[in-house]
């Protein structure tokens, strides 16, 4: 796999400061989801901007089943969560 393919498929998080690796947390969450069908909740925050807590892809190798989960695209998840918080505060 090329570096671009790895970034697109795995959407790596930034490096940590030497403590717990966020990428390791993501990896474990995704492994659990893949095995159980229960989507992860980054840092215990139960928010999905698309879908819900159940992972039901048509094909387990198709990453589109992950859309909406914070572990899949953390930047988009954060932006969508912040948008909901702002709307709720209005």
Q: How confident is the model at residue 10 (pLDDT cuts 50, 70, 90)?
A: low
User: Is residue 40 a contact partner of residue 32, using CB atoms and an 8 Å limit?
Assistant: yes
Q: At residue 3, does pLDDT exceed 90?
A: no
Q: Is 19 helix (H, G, I), strand (E, B) or coil?
A: coil
Q: For 35-88, write each residue's pLDDT tens digit.
A: 999 999 998 999 999 999 999 888 888 888 899 999 988 889 999 999 999 999
Q: Residue 38: beta bridge partners? A: 54
Cα–Cα dist 44/53, whole Å: 12
Cα–Cα dist 64/40, whole Å: 15
Q: At residue 20, does pLDDT exceed 60?
A: no
pTM, full prediction: 0.76
């Amino acid at each position: 796999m090329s570096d671009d393919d790895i970034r697109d498929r795995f959407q790596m998080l930034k490096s940590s400061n030497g403590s717990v690796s966020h990428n390791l947390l993501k990896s474990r969450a995704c492994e659990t989801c893949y095995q159980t069908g229960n989507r992860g909740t980054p840092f215990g925050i139960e928010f999905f901007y698309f879908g819900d807590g159940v992972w039901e892809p048509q094909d387990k190798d198709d990453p589109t089943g992950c859309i909406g989960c914070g572990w899949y695209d953390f930047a988009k998840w954060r932006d969508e969560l912040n948008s909901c918080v702002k709307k709720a505060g209005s």
